[in-house]
């Protein structure tokens, strides 16, 4: 499996707080069944601004020490970029990164308010031959209320990466309910841990995989965990299954209101 969304590099964002924690997280990933990790530290203008060159230094140093620690896992560079009108400029200047220097970019939005310029920024990325991957769509409150937005974004060429933890309620009941609907409707293309701390999500991966197999089956699960992430790392096109539109019933909307 390939973990396409992590915060493992030390002291760069709100993820790992030390090199020791970084190696502990990588060990946890290996024990959970991952053989590759994409290191997608936050890039947020004015807040998290460690550039690509400095992150590459960290990655190279960590890789050199993996063999000595008997950790057999591949590491790849990337970012989770907080949505901005400057996203193309940040990529061109080597500040923020695509995934493994490919055409694929992982980006996130504000959790509680739909950006007014969302479609403009997506169009701008695509005009520059960037394939946008939206991080954890199930976690945004405005998407939880209007999940049809994800269908619309997919139709416009945006791919979706869900968090493993959402399926067991790590981000609340609303995210748990919506992620199940997205999975059942072919609206998720990758799974990632979004790990920030040790002893959190990686030890739960076996339990989560069991639950996911019940929802999507073993073949689809391999697509989400291994096949599609590998295509991204190799800068290959992903042929997605046709998504199905979903909407919340009145009862489901009431349940979500009381489970905030």
Q: What is the pLDDT of residue 235?
A: 98
**What's the whole-number mean pLDDT along residues 106-115?**
94
Q: How far apart are alpha carbons 207 and 143 in whole angstroms? A: 26
Q: What is the pLDDT of residue 256?
A: 54
The residue among 75, 102, 82 whose CA lies nearest residue 8 is 75
Phi, psi of 80 (to 5 degrees): -105, 105
CA distances from 235 to 55, 85, 126, 229 (A): 21, 24, 15, 10
Task: Let me know: does 181 contact 147? Beta carbons within 8 Å.
Answer: yes
**What's the whole-number mean pLDDT along residues 151-157?**
96
pLDDT band for 251, please (50, 70, 90 cuts).
very low
**Residue numbers of the domain that contains 240:** 2-258
pLDDT at 259 over 90: no
Q: Tens digit of pLDDT for each residue in 62-109?
A: 999 998 888 899 999 999 999 999 999 999 999 999 999 999 999 999
Longest dimension (CA), the chain: 57
Q: What is the pLDDT of residue 69?
A: 80
Q: What is the pLDDT of residue 246?
A: 82
**What CATH number does residue 78 fall under?**
3.20.20.140
Angle in degrees, CA 8, 114, 163, rounded to 5: 35
Q: How far apart are alpha carbons 64 and 37 in whole angstroms? A: 15
Q: Classify residue 219 by burial, with Cβ atoms within 10 Å: 0-12, 13-18, 19+.
A: exposed
The residue count of the chain comes to: 260
Q: Is 74 helix (H, G, I), strand (E, B) or coil?
A: strand
Q: Reduced to 3 DSSP states, what percent helix, strand and coil does the chain have, rounded to the nearest 5?
A: 50, 15, 35
What is the number of domains present in the chain?
1
Q: Classify residue 118 by burial, with Cβ atoms within 10 Å: 0-12, 13-18, 19+.
A: middle
Q: Tens digit of pLDDT for each residue in 227-240?
A: 999 999 999 999 99
Q: Is 194 helix (H, G, I), strand (E, B) or coil?
A: coil
Lowest mean pLDDT among 63-67, 68-72, 220-224, 247-251: 247-251
pLDDT band for 248, please (50, 70, 90 cuts).
low
pLDDT band for 247, please (50, 70, 90 cuts).
low
Q: Tens digit of pLDDT for each residue in 186-204?
A: 999 999 999 999 999 999 9
What average pLDDT is seen over the chain? 94
Q: What is the pLDDT of residue 70?
A: 81
Q: What is the pLDDT of residue 250?
A: 44
């Amino acid at each position: 499996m390939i973990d396409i969304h992590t915060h493992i590099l030390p002291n760069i964002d709100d993820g790992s707080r030390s090199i020791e924690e970084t190696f502990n997280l990588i060990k946890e990933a290996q024990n959970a069944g991952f053989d590759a990790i994409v290191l997608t530290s936050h890039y947020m203008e004015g807040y998290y601004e460690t550039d690509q060159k400095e992150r590459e230094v960290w990655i190279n140093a960590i890789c050199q020490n993996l063999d000595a620690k008997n950790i057999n896992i591949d590491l790849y560079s990337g970012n989770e970029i907080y949505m901005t009108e400057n996203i193309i400029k940040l990529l061109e200047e080597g500040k923020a990164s695509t995934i493994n220097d490919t055409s694929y970019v992982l980006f996130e939005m504000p959790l509680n308010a739909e950006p007014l310029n969302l479609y403009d920024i997506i169009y701008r990325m695509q005009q520059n031959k960037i394939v946008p991957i939206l991080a954890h769509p199930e976690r945004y409150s405005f998407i939880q209320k209007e999940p049809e937005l994800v269908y619309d974004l997919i139709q416009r060429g945006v791919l979706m990466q869900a968090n493993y933890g959402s399926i067991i309620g790590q981000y609340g009941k609303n995210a748990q309910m919506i992620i199940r609907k997205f999975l059942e409707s072919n609206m998720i293309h990758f799974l990632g841990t979004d790990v920030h701390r040790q002893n959190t999500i990686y030890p739960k991966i076996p339990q989560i995989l069991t639950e996911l197999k019940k929802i999507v089956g073993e073949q689809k699960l391999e697509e989400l965990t291994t096949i599609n992430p590998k295509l991204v790392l190799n800068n290959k096109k992903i042929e997605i299954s046709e998504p199905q539109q979903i909407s919340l019933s009145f009862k489901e909307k009431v349940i979500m209101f009381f489970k905030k």
